[in-house]
Amino acid sequence: MASLDELVSSVFDGRVGRREFVRRAVLAGISAPAALAFLEACSQGNQANTGGPVHLQFMVWSYEVQTIQDNIKNFEKNDKNVTVTVQDTSWNTYHDTMATKFTTGAAPDVAYSSDHWLREWVAANWIVPLDKYAPDLASQKSEWAPYALQGMTLDNHVYGLPYYADLVIFIYNDKLIRQAGFSKPPANWEEVATQAKALKDKGISQYPIDIPMKKDDPWTIEIFYSMVYSRGGHLFDQGNNPVFNAAGGEAEQALQWLRDAYTSKILDPAVLESAEPDVVKTMGAGQHAFTVLAKYNLAELNLGQHDQKGNFKMALMPGSSNSTVGFVRFYALSKAAADRKHAQAADQFLQYFGGKTNGQYVVAKRWALDKGLGFAQLPLYDDPEIQKAINAWGNVDLEKQQAKVAAPKEGLTPWWGTWDVYAREQIGSALAGSTSPKQALQNMATKWQSLKH
């Protein structure tokens, strides 16, 4: 049965009369008076094209929801015609939750999305291109970082407005490596292992390296990509064919390095059960010296309530190319919002959250200042407040240098999400020794080909 929102839309579109609406609502278990009251409220609230009030539904993953709610309050003060309700679920369950909402008629108007899912969501007709429904927003793309724009673009259409864009980076505890006798961070993965062994042998850290490798943590695959990129390698060619299974290639080198670090116990054996928050906690406590995480975690480590706060630095990703993953999370406009005739109100909302207000990137700047989130809006790098804030916990110049050699994830096809889940399982199996790195990569390639065809 159609959702209540869909029935309301059908009334406004003239496909269903008010009497039929009430009949169907009653069949759905809603009383006739309640159905009529709801319809009347919607008749007043779904007037985006005539200047009347509109209520938007906004879906996010559970990160700093209080800040999101405060941003919504500020938006509603500026725009009296639009109100917003926010719902959240955890990052780890977000994709599946959204798939359920889209397929059961409970889609929000605006939602967080990710470059992971762009092709899947577009292929399923869940989201619409901004350059068609909100061209004023898409016109800002000249100010976005290239890897972020690429992550939101498909077939020359822009489907998102940046929520945040960031890099996967190498983080080290400068105090601990100096204690071990090193004056600078490792330049390649061999040096990472050498420094880690010295830290272990000197009793400074039992397990000097901690990298989240839990199979249900989506960061696992992004980190693996970065470790392959940093060696100058690729996972897929331009035709989305896997190249990571090449014998002796960079992907095998990266996975073998992880396996060797695991068996030599310079990599914490708990990594197979460690997600990003676990690693931040143990790094902050001084249990480890090296990790690979999204850059915003560097701000948390240096500014948060941690024993080792202030001791953490970023280095270029170790390896011959120093490349890493650059990724983007973005605001997407749902097909449901367009169907409900909420596109104009959503445009206003998106302009505030991901675009400019009075010429300023208000919300993106707040995330950067308050939480250290990265951003795609390049003019923010020239903002003195942003520069001061980043340098309080990181290094603006080094961040720019790392961004120049960052690359988006390869192989982002409609089936990438399914493959990703399988790939993380295989990476874990290789680390644990239940399969060899070579065989794990071959299994990943076989799975890819089965999904592709």
- Total domains present in the chain: 3
Does 40 have pLDDT greater than 80? Answer: no
Q: What percent of the chain has pLDDT over 70?
A: 89
Does 146 have pLDDT greater than 70? Answer: yes
Same domain, 152 and 295: no
Same domain, 202 and 254: yes
312 or 134, higher pLDDT:
312
Among candidate residues 64, 99, 95, the one with its CA nearest the CA of residue 217: 95
Same domain, 378 and 420: no
pLDDT tens for 312-352 read 999 999 999 999 999 999 999 999 998 888 988 999 999 99
Same domain, 10 and 63: no
Same domain, 264 and 294: yes
pLDDT number for residue 223: 97
Q: Does residue 331 fall inside a structural domain?
A: yes
Q: Are 294 and 214 in contact (CB under 8 A)?
A: no
Among candidate residues 86, 16, 11, the one with its CA nearest the CA of residue 42: 11
Among candidate residues 38, 112, 51, 103, the one with its CA nearest the CA of residue 79: 51
Q: Does residue 393 fall inside a structural domain?
A: no
In this prediction, residue 449 has a pLDDT band, given cuts at 50, 70 and 90, of very high
pLDDT tens for 389-415 read 999 999 998 998 898 888 889 998 888
Does 272 have pLDDT greater than 50? Answer: yes
Q: Does residue 392 fall inside a structural domain?
A: no
Q: How far is Cα 123 from Cα 125, in angstroms, rounded to an integer?
A: 5
In this prediction, residue 22 has a pLDDT band, given cuts at 50, 70 and 90, of low
What Å distances lie between residue 281 and 65, 203, 278, 398, CA to CA? 21, 20, 5, 24
Q: SS3 for the chain, per residue?
A: CCCHHHHHHHHHCCCCCHHHHHHHHHHCCCCHHHHHHHHHHHHHHCCHHHCCCEEEEEEEECCCHHHHHHHHHHHHHHCCCEEEEEEEECHHHHHHHHHHHHHCCCCCCEEEEEHHHHHHHHHCCCECCHHHHCHHHHHHHHHECHHHHHHCEECCEECCEEEEEEEEEEEEEHHHHHHCCCCCCCCCHHHHHHHHHHHHHCCCCCCCECCCCCCCCCHHHHHHHHHHHCCCCCCECCCCCECCCCCCCHHHHHHHHHHHHHHCCCECHHHHHCCHHHHHHHHHCCCCCEEEEECHHHHHHHHCCCCCCCCEEEECCCCCCCCEEEEEEEEEEEHHHHHCCCHHHHHHHHHHHHCCECCECHHHHHHHHHHCCCCCEHHHHHCHHHHHHHHHHCCHHHHHHHHHCEECCCCCCCCHHHHHHHHHHHHHHHHHCCCCHHHHHHHHHHHHHHHHC
pLDDT number for residue 343: 86
Same domain, 317 and 338: no
Residue at 404: amino acid letter:
K
pLDDT number for residue 12: 41
Q: Which domain, by its residues, includes 235?
A: 166-325+398-452
Q: Does residue 342 fall inside a structural domain?
A: yes
Number of C-alpha atoms within 13 angstroms, CB side, residue 250?
Answer: 20
Q: Are 106 and 3 in contact (CB under 8 A)?
A: yes
Q: Does residue 120 fall inside a structural domain?
A: yes
Same domain, 283 and 364: no
The average confidence (pLDDT) of the chain is 89
Q: Is the torsion defined by CA of 435, 438, 439, 440 positive or negative? A: positive
pLDDT number for residue 44: 42
Same domain, 308 and 221: yes
Residues belonging to the chain: 453
Q: How far is Cα 93 from Cα 218, in angstroms, rounded to an integer?
A: 10
Q: Phi and psi (nearest 5°) for 60?
A: -135, 165
**Span 427-435, mean pLDDT?**
97
pLDDT number for residue 231: 98
Phi-psi region of 372 (alpha: psi -120 to 50; beta: other; left: phi over 0): left
pLDDT number for residue 116: 82
Same domain, 145 and 219: no
- CATH number of the domain bearing residue 286: 3.40.190.10
**Span 176-204, mean pLDDT?**
98
In this prediction, residue 378 has a pLDDT band, given cuts at 50, 70 and 90, of confident
**Span 112-140, mean pLDDT?**
90
pLDDT number for residue 401: 85
Q: Does residue 341 fall inside a structural domain?
A: yes
In this prediction, residue 308 has a pLDDT band, given cuts at 50, 70 and 90, of very high
pLDDT number for residue 36: 55
Q: Does residue 203 fall inside a structural domain?
A: yes
How far apart are the two ends of the chain, measured CA to CA in Å?
A: 33
Does 33 have pLDDT greater than 80? Answer: no
Same domain, 279 and 419: yes
Query: 15-19, 331-335, 364-368: which range is least confident on average?
Result: 15-19
Does 93 have pLDDT greater than 60? Answer: yes
Last residue of a domain, one of 336, 359, 387: 387
Structure tokens given for 294: 């999204």
Q: How far is Cα 219 from Cα 293, in angstroms, rounded to an integer?
A: 8
Q: How far is Cα 374 from Cα 294, in angstroms, rounded to an integer?
A: 9
Last residue of a domain, one of 27, 45, 63: 45
Q: How far is Cα 65 from Cα 90, in angstroms, rounded to an integer?
A: 11
Among candidate residues 198, 191, 227, 209, the one with its CA nearest the CA of residue 265: 209
In this prediction, residue 26 has a pLDDT band, given cuts at 50, 70 and 90, of low
Burial bucket for residue 433 (CB in 10 Å: 0-12, 13-18, 19+):
exposed
Same domain, 422 and 368: no
Same domain, 77 and 208: no
Last residue of a domain, one of 337, 357, 387: 387
pLDDT number for residue 218: 87
**Span 200-206, mean pLDDT?**
98
Q: How far is Cα 258 from Cα 256, in angstroms, rounded to an integer?
A: 5
